Amino acid sequence: MTASKSSRARNARAAAQAGARTGAARNGASGGTAVKNASPARGGPAKPGGSAKPGGTATRDRDRPRNGAAARGPRTIEVRDEPAEPGHAPWLQIVTFVLALAGLGVSIYLTIAHFTESALAGCSESGLVNCTKVTTSPQSYVFGIPVAVLGLAFFVFCVAIMSPWAWRASRREVHLVRIASLVVGVGFVLYLVYAELFTIGSICLYCTSVHVITFLLFALTAFAAAAWGLKPGAPWKLVPDRQPE
């Protein structure tokens, strides 16, 4: 009985030692796995400004602008109200308006003299200067209309189109009509001068004054178109919008 107890005790101690060794081996294996799992990712540490992906890889943040500069948007064009550019010179407006008034005054006088058949004051009745011969000739009518009446209508229009308000008009059509009317007027004057010199053989001082005024208005209008353009006071401009700094 004593021997059997001793053998049972030895077997129990041997079993306890075997269990302790097995438990130690298992704990060692678990520790190794934990260490292995705790090892750093193959890709290494993530770079600054990037974000790590599963598997240890890091990606660069592409949304950030280079050199830290703010993102610039596309350039835009907007319409801004700018001060009007300088228009035609004041002296030009005044001179053309005064000339148009002078031409209107002479045309009114010639029209009255034509319908009343009265002699023109201060005008010779013989020689090269003969106002009566000119104003009563067949060439003093165009399409059945007295030339004096046509001149009156022309200078009424000139007074309106040569006024300072018309010179300051912002519509391009006003300036186009002005220069077109002067071109027509000069063409008609050339016809009258030819008729006086080569057909009638005499000239009229009042008619000549009207011709000179028409030529001066044409020259000044052409000069204004060349110097300032047909629409000098345009108040709108297209300007580029500023970019954010």
108 or 126: which carries more pLDDT confidence?
108
Q: Tell which phi-psi region holds residue 44, choosing left (phi > 0), alpha (psi between -120 and 50) or beta.
A: left
- Model confidence at 240: pLDDT above 60: no
Alpha-carbon span 135 to 241, nearest angstrom: 65
95 or 169: which carries more pLDDT confidence?
95
Which pLDDT belongs to residue 75? 52
> Which top CATH class is 95-228?
mainly alpha
Domain residue ranges in the chain:
95-228
Q: What percent of the chain has pLDDT above 70?
A: 59
Question: Per-residue pLDDT tens for 62-115?
Answer: 555 455 444 455 554 444 444 444 567 899 999 999 999 999 999 999 999 999
Both tokens of residue 115? 């319908």
Torsion of CA 57, 63, 69, 73, to 10 degrees: 170
Which pLDDT belongs to residue 89? 85
Which pLDDT belongs to residue 87? 63
The identity of residue 191, as a single letter, is Y
Q: How confident is the model at residue 187 (pLDDT cuts 50, 70, 90)?
A: very high
Q: Crossing angle of helices 205-228/90-116, nearest 10°?
A: 150
Enclosing H/E stretch for 240? strand 236-240
Which pLDDT belongs to residue 119? 84
Collapsing DSSP to helix, strand or coil, 126 comes out as coil
222 or 59: which carries more pLDDT confidence?
222
Burial letters for 141-174: b for 16+ Cβ neighbours within 10 Å, e otherwise?
eeeeebbbbbbbebbebbbebbbeebbebeeeeb
DSSP bridge partners of 79: 238
Nearest to 128 by CA among 211, 198, 214: 198
Which pLDDT belongs to residue 56? 46
Give Cβ neighbours of residue 63 (< 8 Å, ≥ 6 apart): none
Q: How confident is the model at residue 33 (pLDDT cuts 50, 70, 90)?
A: very low
Both tokens of residue 171? 């519509």
Which pLDDT belongs to residue 8? 67
Enclosing H/E stretch for 227? helix 205-228
Question: Per-residue pLDDT tens for 11-29?
Answer: 667 666 766 666 555 555 4
pTM of this prediction?
0.59
Least confident range of 187-191, 214-218, 227-231: 227-231
Mean pLDDT of 161-170: 91
Which pLDDT belongs to residue 29? 47
Three-state SS sequence of 46-109:
CCCCEEECCCCCEEECCCCCHHHCCCCCCCCEEEEECCCCCCCCHHHHHHHHHHHHHHHHHHHH
DSSP 8-state symbol, 204:
-
Which pLDDT belongs to residue 95? 96
Question: Per-residue pLDDT tens for 37-71?
Answer: 444 444 444 444 444 444 444 445 555 545 544 44
Q: What percent of the chain has pLDDT above 90?
A: 43
Both tokens of residue 79? 């319409």
